[in-house]
Amino acid sequence: MRVQPLASTFTDNFFWLVTDADDALLVDPIDATVAIDAVRREAPSRVRILTTHGHPDHAGGNAEVAAALDARVLAPADAIHWPVPHDRGLRHGDSITLGASAFDVHHAPGHTDDHIVLHAPGILISGDVFFVAGAGNCRNGGDPGELYRTFHQRLAHLPDETRFHPGHDYASRNLAFCLHVEPDNGAAAALRERIADHARSDGPVLTTLGEERAYNPFHRVHDEVLQRRLRERFPEAVDHEVQDPAEQAFRALRHLRDSFQGP
């Protein structure tokens, strides 16, 4: 299975062309021109569109791409706030065959109520659930408590070696936020230095879940040192009505990230 990043020319999105044998899946093809050109270069015998969630910067290219490529649309089946017209509705536990391979579908709410992600051995298509050094926002139909449970219950079992492919590359700014919260986070500092000259034309910065679990604070909210630091340094962000200290830390981080004014 090959996962190829495609960059939108009019938004900051990256989207994905996944191929196996003569079968192709376009994930969130917001830029129809780029998506259509990429598929025609590959010339697969079958192409489908998959939408991770209904936000316009992920689903907005579907109609044009589907018409041009005679492609069926796969999308979350039970969306409440951001429904997507589709030919096949997807629910947690479904699978999608692609050539000789297959993806498992996981319901992963928090950024939106309907968000889904795709997992195959070594590969996760994460949409806007999480990013390098960060987590999805919850401002447009999302909920930070649901996002916390997606991180730490629904997806926590995925292997460390899994490389994930998000819908945006916010690595540089997210790493600045990591260091704002934890100035002594050596792993975040090292990655920030390593990608200092990374250009959008190089494709998105990609890491593994194991790497993220070492420095991304949203993955580390069970760390008692991080919990204490958030309570002491950012008391205004802590919701004391939330009893679970890990969820309390996650919500505080999401609140702080929303207002972060760093570089």
Query: pLDDT grade, residue 80 (50/70/90)?
Result: confident
> Which tens digits make up the pLDDT trace of 147-180?
999 999 999 999 999 999 999 999 999 999 999 9
Amino acid of residue 117:
V
Q: 156: Cβ–Cβ under 8 A, 6 or more apart, which residues?
A: none
Taking Cα atoms as reference points, which of 69, 76, 63, 73 lies closest to residue 46? 69
pLDDT of amino acid 61: 98
Question: In terms of pTM, does the model score above 0.85?
Answer: yes
pLDDT of amino acid 194: 96
Q: Which domain holds residue 163?
A: 2-259
Does 66 have pLDDT greater than 90? yes
Query: pLDDT grade, residue 262 (50/70/90)?
Result: confident
The structural domain count of the chain equals 1
Does 241 have pLDDT greater than 90? yes
- For residue 147, give the CATH number of its domain: 3.60.15.10
d(CA 179, CA 188): 7
> Which tens digits make up the pLDDT trace of 113-146?
999 999 999 999 999 999 999 999 999 989 999 9
218, exposed or middle or buried, with CB in 10 Å at 0-12, 13-18, 19+? Answer: buried
- Sheet containing strand 95-98, strands side by side: 95-98, 101-107, 116-120, 123-127, 163-166
